[in-house]
Amino acid sequence: MTDTASSPRRASMRDWLSDPNPRSPLQARLHQSWRMWRKLRRNGSALLGLAILMVIVFAAIFAPLLATHNIYAQDLGDRLALPSAEHWLGTDELGRDIYSRLLYGARITLYIASLTAIIAAPIGLLVGTVSGYFGGWVDTVLMRVTEIFLAFPSLVLALAFVSALGPGINNAIIAISLTAWPPIARLARAETMIIRRSDYIAAVRLQGASALRIIMRHVVPMCLPSVVARVTLNMAGIILSAAGLGFLGLGAQPPSPEWGAMLSSARQYILSNGYVAAAPGMAILLTSVAFNLVGDGLRDVLDPRHE
């Protein structure tokens, strides 16, 4: 009886969400989200990437509950132990449990990637929208600065910045953020140059709205979908940059269980005990691939040309 009553309720909710003529702003927003979810659901690779990311986020959040050993406890008598029931992924050169360190390393990796995106995305969005809206000498100055950053490989530029700032996670985040915003700025500028010629922008300008209001209230929201997709795609590069800095000893410092640092300490055992390096290497690979798959799916969902 309960299932029979709930079926019409679910059907009516589905009809309300899929109604092409929304009767309220809330229904319009939910209708748009419903359409985006249906498009994303048809993308198998994006769902696979989303599932992998959910597993990684779950492992990072519940690392204290899922870990089987203290990540800093050393046992030199059990160093380089093979995977077993006691140590699921074996132990490293100091006898520390690799599985437990991998879980806590997910926290550091997601922290670096998330904070870098939070810093780089607004900078790139602001520079791109201001440059594209005003044009002229403002566009010339901002784009020349952007091109200077784009002229260098991102990892090389990050190495230069973190060498000047000093090793550490926070300095690595700042260094990677300074290299991550230029592609976002270029994308936002291209979007803004199209949007500023729209009729509704001309109407808002005729009503006396200031340039700042037009940019913040009308241009930025229109650029956000493309920027979100771009940032998601950039996450893989951010993770690889963070791992590269950690591998070179300029990111997270020992005994932190950051994946790049774990890979660095395990590189001398790759030929004799390959599993020590395989675990953090596979973690970096899976996380990067997952972000790329989700980013591709979001790009198709948020792009109105992909219907």
pLDDT in tens, the chain (307 residues): 445 445 555 557 666 666 666 666 666 667 666 777 777 778 788 889 999 999 999 999 999 999 999 999 898 888 998 999 998 999 998 999 999 999 999 999 999 999 999 999 999 999 999 999 998 899 999 999 999 999 888 888 898 899 888 888 999 999 999 999 999 999 999 999 998 888 888 888 888 888 889 998 889 988 888 898 889 989 999 999 999 999 988 888 888 899 999 999 888 888 888 899 999 999 999 999 999 999 888 887 776 545 5
Q: How many other β-carbons are positioned within 10 Å of the β-carbon of residue 7?
A: 10
Domain 42-302 = CATH 1.10.3720.10: yes
Report the C-alpha gap between 204 and 100 in whole angstroms: 56
Give the three-class secondary structure for 91. strand
Let me know: does 271 contact 115? Beta carbons within 8 Å: no
Query: E strands of the chain, at which residues?
Result: none
End-to-end CA distance of the chain: 39
What are the φ/ψ torsions at residue 204 (nearest 5 degrees)?
Answer: -65, -40
Q: Are 110 and 169 in contact (CB under 8 A)?
A: no
**Bridge partners of 97?**
91
Determine the angle formed by the axes of helices 259-266 and 274-302, rounding to 10 degrees.
Answer: 150
Please, what's the largest Cα pairwise distance for the chain? 77
CA distance 246 to 104: 15
Say how many C-beta atoms besides its own lie within 10 A of residue 123's C-beta: 16
pTM of the model: 0.85
